[in-house]
Structure 1
Amino acid sequence: MTSVVVTPPALEPVTVAEMRNQLRLTGAQEEDLLSGFIQAARQQIERETRRALIRQGWRLYLEAWPMGRIVSLPIAPVLSVDEITVYDLDGNGHVLDPSDYTLDRSSDPARIRIGLGAGVPSANLLGAEIDFSAGYGDNAQDVPAPLRQAIRLLAAHWFENREAGTDLAMTSLPHGLDRLMSVNRVLQL
């Protein structure tokens, strides 16, 4: 099971202006650098928590249906299932009708239940692709405050400790970062 981002988020959950305030910077000389730190921090927080922060499109690749035809999605929160394509042994794709599956958002991570007989028979299944949208929403304000604060802390840490070889940069992370992420981490089953 492999998953990839197919549509990245349209914006970051933290603005450059918010980072300038966090760092108490008055000038705009290093906006590109701050923007890069914000993006990298968001990506790190997303990897650590297994959460998408701003709406983004994902694709999950499966070689076969899991037991019971229940697919746990690797990223949370899931906003929608956009399309499920199953491939037969000849490599022909068949898009499942939305009535052939249900999205269960009550579990964390969300699950998709594939109906029996949906698509091609399991013996003839070469693989499947599940396209879904994940994230808290389209706006920075949709992202929980602790995760936005974690991005600011991590980006500020990287801004202040730019030398990769220093002992401080190698051994420390901002105080409280692990706590901000831990309550939002999706458990891996």
Structure 2
Amino acid sequence: MTIIELTPPAVEPLTIAEIRAHLRLDGEEEDGLLLALATVAREHLERETGLVLAARDFRLCLDDWPEDGILTIARGPVQAVRVVTVYDGEGEPQVVDLDGHLLDGQARPARLWLRETPAPGRVMNGIEVEFSAGFGESGADVPETLKRAMLLHVAAMYACRGVVAADAQPAVVPPGYDRLIAPFCRRGL
């Protein structure tokens, strides 16, 4: 299973005003750095939790359908399934009818059931599922606890800005960060 990000986020969950207020900064001189650190904090949080904070589109590539007929999508919350394509042995695409599909986009992982599941002809990546995921179109849709964790992370990285380059972040995860994100993390046995 491979998940490909098709579109970048239109907006970051944290605004520059929220970051400046948290850090108690008045000037705009370091806004570029602050926005870069906010992006790093979001990407780190998304990797840790499997959540998609800023809404965007993805493609899930599979070799075959699951035996139980319920396809799981590790990134979420899934808002909508846009298109499902199955490729035959010659590489010709066949669009699967989404009429009557069932989507539990809030589940962790999200679950999709399709009425029709034609067998793929390609051995690898014969099935592609394009979907949109994320909490919403703005930072206001992201749970406040996750935004607090990101602000703590941005502050810690900002404090170490002279020691660790922005492109080498996240080098510092602040105390309390793990407790804030713990309820949102999926833990395997």
TM-score, with length taken from structure 2:
0.88
Once residues 31 and 85 of structure 2 are traced to their aligned partners in structure 1, the CA distance between those partners, rounded to angstroms, is 42
Greater helix percent: which structure? 1
Q: What's the C-alpha RMSD, in Å, of the aligned pairs?
A: 2.2
Which blocks of at least 5 consecutive residues in structure 2 are unaligned? none
- 1:1-189 to structure 2, matched below 5 A, reads 1-99=1-99, 101-105=101-105, 107-115=107-115, 118=116, 120-121=118-119, 124=121, 126=123, 127-162=126-161, 163-164=163-164, 173-187=173-187
Once residues 171 and 85 of structure 1 are traced to their aligned partners in structure 2, the CA distance between those partners, rounded to angstroms, is 40
Q: Which stretches of structure 1, 4 residues or more, deviate above 6 A after TM superposition?
A: none
Shift in alpha-carbon separation, 1:106–1:78, aligned structure 2, 3 A:
closer
Shift in alpha-carbon separation, 1:34–1:181, aligned structure 2, 3 A:
same
Once residues 105 and 32 of structure 1 are traced to their aligned partners in structure 2, the CA distance between those partners, rounded to angstroms, is 34
Secondary structure of the 2:21 match is: helix
Once residues 188 and 56 of structure 1 are traced to their aligned partners in structure 2, the CA distance between those partners, rounded to angstroms, is 26
Aligned residues: 183
Does the aligned pair in 1 maintain the 2:74–2:108 contact within 8 Å?
Answer: no
Letter in 2 for 1:120: P
Shift in alpha-carbon separation, 1:156–1:185, aligned structure 2, 3 A:
same
Displacement of 1:125 in angstroms is 5.2
Question: Identity over the aligned pairs, expressed in percent?
Answer: 37
Displacement of 1:188 in angstroms is 5.5
1:10-37: CA deviation from partner (whole Å, max 9, x where unpaired): 1011111111111111111000000100
Does the aligned pair in 2 maintain the 1:94–1:119 contact within 8 Å?
Answer: no
Displacement of 1:114 in angstroms is 2.6
TM-score, with length taken from structure 1:
0.88
Task: Say which is worse superposed, 50-59 or 103-112, in terms of deviation.
Answer: 103-112
Once residues 170 and 183 of structure 1 are traced to their aligned partners in structure 2, the CA distance between those partners, rounded to angstroms, is 21
